[in-house]
Amino acid sequence: MSGFLERAASAFVTLPPEPAVAVAPPRFAARALVLGSVRDAVPVGAALAGGLRERAPSAVLVTWPAPAAPRPALGTPGASRLVAGLQARGLAVVARGRLAWIALGDGELGLARRALAVVDVPVVVAITGPRSAASDALLAEQDLVVLVVPPDADARVAALVEEQLTEENVPFSARAPLTAPGARTTALAGWGRLKVTP
């Protein structure tokens, strides 16, 4: 039979379906929690969000408690798109560099879970307030918890936090605040990058 007749006949013959190709489940972006004072934890959280970003166009930084949202600054197109999406969901958010920054008031820590649920980019939550049921609920959902310990702090505090987080099977790391010249400013502008390993 000629090639032409074979092609014509194949139009009327149904071929068996191709085997289904296994598709890997979607990779969810990293989640981290930073604990410490406002002066130390927020810059570390901002830099960590930039470091976790890897190939994502932007990341989310949630700060709690925050008296007011930071002033919007120059944001990348990816951060601006992320901000628009979060604002459409009713969250007060501003773009700063590569970050979408959400500043939550005293009773609003529960909104952090909403931000975690609606985005597939890295999210870092910087908790600078007292321990609460809402902050404890966030612990189990994190890939990493970072405690920012000033050099003059009591070492027993970090040991106590590490002991509690080890019991809950949460990866933990303690580190010093950002001290390199310009590191805090760069981080708070949304351009910092920090890698932390447990």
- Give the CB-side neighbour count of residue 85, counting CA atoms within 13 A: 18
Residue 123: its pLDDT value, please?
95
Residue 113: its pLDDT value, please?
85
* CA atoms of 179 and 184, how far apart (whole Å): 7
User: What is the pTM for the complete model shown?
Assistant: 0.83
pLDDT in tens, the chain (198 residues): 566 656 665 666 555 555 554 443 454 789 999 999 999 999 999 999 999 988 899 999 999 999 888 999 999 999 999 999 999 998 999 999 999 999 999 889 988 888 888 899 999 999 999 988 888 888 888 999 999 999 998 889 888 888 888 888 889 999 999 999 999 999 999 999 999 887
| Two structure tokens written together for 58 | 């932007």
Q: Where are the domains of the chain?
A: 37-186
Residue 2: its pLDDT value, please?
61
